[in-house]
Amino acid sequence: MPLKSPEEYVESIKREVNLYMFGEKISEFWKHPNFKIIEPSMNTVSKIYELAQMDEYKHLMTATSHLTGETINRFTLIHQSVEDLINKVKMQRLVGQQTACCFQRCVGFDTANALWSVTWEMDRKYGTNYHKRFKNYWIEVQRGDLMVAGSMTDTKGDRGRRPNNQTDPDQYLHIVDEDDNGIIVRGAKIHQTGFLNSHRAIIMPTLRLRPGEEEYAVSFGVNTNEKGITMIYGRQSCDTRKMEEGKLDIGNYKYGGQEIFVIFDDVFVPHDQIFMKGEIDFSGELVNRFAGFHRQSYGGCKVGVGDVLIGAASLLSQYQGVDGASHIRDKIVEMIHLNETLFCCGIACSAQGFQREAGNYEMDMLLANICKQNVTRFPYEIGRLAEDVAGGIICTMPSQADFDSEEIGPLLKKYLTTCDGVSVKSRYKLLRFIENLSMGVASLSYKTESLHGAGSPQAQRIMISRQGNLEEKINLVKKILDIK
């Protein structure tokens, strides 16, 4: 059965890479002191592998491959039914609940499902063999239970110029050479979630391309430690707290996310790993379908993290003796209402899914964009309400070193005491946890990623405008009022 254990995953990802962190080159990152910053993100991915081994979660975490008939991790599944689409969102909520952060495996998952139908349609139109290549590539992923990153966002240079009009053509990843064996690409991809923790990556264009921009219409698979790939680890708020003694000031000290700046410096890609090469008319479809799948994902993952934040705020209200106050109860109810509304959108766009001619199932594009548009707003309000319940102390607390100090520690414990029977340390943990989710490292994956991940708010509004079918709505009025 092609399911890795958490331990097997950790060992499999220990490979030499060209990584830079805080200005220092690191090849064996798992041996470096800065691994304390990286380790929580690896723990998060490991949790996915762990949950897939647990009987109570196998119905969500695993599925049967339509390619091999084998049991696989659901994060490598090509959706074969509406039920698969719904279970995807439920799985993502579960993993969010278990980790309270971005778990990094969704982007590659959504990329694969978008590529499945797009490669099939390119082959039908042009007689290419992209679909067969991708199918063989993805069977390897399923059988190896590999983590695959999805890489879309280019650096973009001057946003007022098209890719082929940039002063520096490398601002968008593109093909710079080709021979009988494959292509050579150059450029960069940014905001690369979990790239260091992934075995492979699939690269996509970042926008709909036009005639004259064929060199930028490229999609391919690549090993994340391929020659010519350089990674720079993304800096996050409060990240160096993980280097300090003790864990209390970290907040979520077990789990975390990871973002990488990835540079492709003349990277060779063999033909059998190329899934698009110059087909500009399909570049926009790949971008749109990936975005749809990924916007669906946010109706699960951010909801799971929201569940944990709501739980933290509710427990803290008990610890601080205000859980009986009507305005506190009302704030908790509002947090639940907003969070479940996001989940409703994720389930709705899945339940309204349909089958593509390629055989795979796709969510409802309009509802997926509605889902993500709400995600750009509601987590900010949920976070604000959590901060309101917690009080200003979440951003004024002394450090753990002071808390543990023989001289000042007893006084801090005295004045941080609230209700009888409530551990001061437990309250401290909760306050730091809420700080972490609303202002610290985890806020990247909960708030900022909610805003910009899978496209910033305007991207969804454009798609809502295209998918909203205004003409049909106008005709409804005309019919009722007998307007011809």
pLDDT at residue number 456: 87
Looking at residue 429, its pLDDT comes to 95
Q: Whose CA is closest to 251, among 386, 382, 394, 354?
A: 394
- For residue range 124-136, list pLDDT tens digits in order: 999 999 999 999 9
What confidence tens digit (pLDDT) does each residue in 73-123 have? 999 999 999 999 999 999 999 999 999 999 999 999 999 999 999 999 999
Active-site residue, 106 included = yes
Catalytic member of 101, 102, 349, 371? 102
Q: Which residue has the tokens 């470096």?
A: 32
> Of 294, 319, 361, 435, which is the active-site residue?
294
Catalytic residue among 62, 99, 193, 224: 193
- Out of 99, 121, 301, 428, the active site residue is 301
Is 301 one of the catalytic residues? yes
* pLDDT in the model for residue 1: 55
CATH-assigned architecture of domain 284-475: Up-down Bundle (1.20)
466-478: string of b/e by CB count within 10 Å (b at 16+)? ebeeeeeeeeeee
Q: Is the pLDDT of residue 57 over 60?
A: yes
Closest listed residue to residue 204, CA positions, set 113, 98, 320: 113
Q: Is the pLDDT of residue 14 over 90?
A: yes
Domain ranges of the chain: 6-86+98-280, 284-475
Catalytic residue, from 49, 130, 253, 298: name it: 298
pLDDT of the residue at 440: 74
Fold of 6-86+98-280: Butyryl-CoA Dehydrogenase, subunit A; domain 2 (2.40.110)
Judge whether 387 counts as a catalytic residue.
Answer: no
Residue 41 to residues 90, 252, 256, 314, 382: CA-CA distances in angstroms?
Answer: 21, 11, 5, 26, 24
Mark whether 214 is an active-site residue: no
Question: Is the fold of 6-86+98-280 the same as that of 284-475?
Answer: no
pLDDT of residue 285: 97
**Apex 305 CA angle, 299 and 308, nearest 5:** 135
Say if residue 443's pLDDT is above 70.
no
Provide the sign of the torsion angle of the four alpha carbons 331, 333, 335, 338, taken in this order: negative
CA nearest to 348, candidates 74, 89, 63, 77: 89
Per-residue pLDDT of 332-391, as tens digits, reads 999 999 999 999 999 999 999 999 999 999 999 999 999 999 999 999 999 999 999 999
Tokens of 100: 């309270």
**β-pair partners for 192:** 260
49 part of the active site: no
* Mean pLDDT of all residues in 244-272: 95
Find the catalytic residue in 101, 106, 345, 349. 106
Pairing of strands 274-277, 259-270: unpaired
Given 39, 213, 279, 449, the catalytic residue: 449
Q: Is 213 a catalytic residue?
A: no
Give me the catalytic one of 213, 215, 259, 387: 259
